[in-house]
């Protein structure tokens, strides 16, 4: 997928990884549609990104994604890329995990990206195809005490993404998963419940720009699995976790 000129929807664009991704895609020539709930932040960012559109959106609200897609099509006539990035953490040991919190985070981290895929599919199918990048988490590949609820939502997103990749391939739509590791954003201050799990060796968080690079790479390459790690790496699909170096692959400049 060529990013230059592409119409790219980025959810969760009001902060962190989503804002960095919107900036990077815009810098590569994309027409970016910024979606999140905090209008002031979206409009501030949009004013710095030529040709971008800010659309206040709650991706968990009924009809929220449909309105977002309608606004994007009305403005640009097509949608080439969806980055399903909006998400929230839930860092509580299972015994204390409130099912209501898990349901709420499941709605945001799993159901909303699915609804997004369903909303853009007909538009992409009616055009020249497209790319969907679902932002998961490296925690979904590991067993980490305190992260059972959050990681379960991302593991569910992984499966929906992989099945979507198979089901949508014939329509020219490529579905990729990006797995960030600990990243320096507001994420850890905005958990649905709990706190950043600590106890292990101190982790230097990745800058959100590194994740934005991995997302841009996933769009361009159509790779199924991109792990953001130190150094960032590709997970080779179906090899049980064997990796090859992400940085050795072509990257957007």
Ligand X SMILES: NC(=O)c1ccc[n+]([C@@H]2O[C@H](COP(=O)([O-])OP(=O)(O)OC[C@H]3O[C@@H](n4cnc5c(N)ncnc54)[C@H](OP(=O)(O)O)[C@@H]3O)[C@@H](O)[C@H]2O)c1
Q: Which residues bind ligand X (CB under 6 A)?
A: 11-12, 14-18, 36-38, 57-60, 85-88, 108, 135, 137, 180, 182-183, 185-187, 190
**Nearest approach, Cβ of 51 to ligand X (angstroms)?**
21
Catalytic residue among 65, 106, 150, 179: 150
For ligand X, which is the closer residue by CB, 12 or 232?
12
* Residue keyed to tokens 């699995």: 225
For ligand X, which is the closer residue by CB, 58 or 70?
58
Closest CA to 73 of 33, 42, 18: 33
Rounded to whole angstroms, the Cα distance separating 202 from 98 reads 28
For ligand X, which is the closer residue by CB, 185 or 216?
185
Is 167 within 8 Å of 64 (Cβ atoms)?
A: no
**Nearest approach, Cβ of 2 to ligand X (angstroms)?**
25
Those residues whose C-beta lies under 8 Å from the C-beta of residue 82, and which sit 6 or more positions away, are 8, 9, 11, 116, 117, 120, 130, 131, 132, 133
| Residue 179 annotated as catalytic | no
**Nearest approach, Cβ of 87 to ligand X (angstroms)?**
2
The residues carrying an active-site annotation are 150
């Amino acid at each position: 997928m060529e990013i230059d000129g592409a119409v790219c929807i980025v959810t969760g664009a009001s902060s962190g990884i989503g804002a960095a991704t919107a900036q990077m895609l815009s810098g590569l020539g994309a027409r970016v549609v910024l979606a999140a709930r905090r209008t002031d932040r979206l409009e501030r960012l949009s004013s710095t990104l030529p040709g971008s559109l800010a659309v206040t959106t709650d991706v968990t609200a009924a009809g929220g994604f449909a309105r977002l897609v309608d606004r994007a099509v009305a403005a640009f006539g097509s949608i080439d890329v969806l980055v399903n990035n909006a998400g929230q953490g839930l860092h509580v040991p299972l015994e204390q995990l409130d099912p209501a919190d898990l349901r709420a985070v499941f709605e945001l981290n799993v159901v909303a990206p699915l609804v997004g895929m369903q909303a853009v599919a007909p538009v992409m199918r009616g055009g020249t195809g497209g790319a969907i990048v679902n932002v998961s988490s490296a925690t979904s590949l590991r067993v980490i005490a305190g992260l059972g609820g959050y990681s379960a939502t991302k593991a569910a997103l992984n499966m929906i993404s992989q099945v979507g990749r198979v089901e949508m391939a014939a329509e020219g739509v490529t579905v990729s998963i990006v797995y960030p590791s600990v990243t320096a954003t507001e994420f850890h201050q905005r958990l649905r419940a709990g706190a950043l799990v600590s106890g292990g060796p101190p982790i230097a968080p990745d800058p959100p720009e590194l994740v934005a690079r991995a997302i841009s790479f996933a769009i361009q390459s159509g790779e199924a699995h991109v792990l953001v790690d130190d150094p960032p790496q590709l997970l080779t699909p179906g090899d049980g976790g064997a990796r090859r170096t992400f940085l050795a692959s072509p990257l957007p400049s």
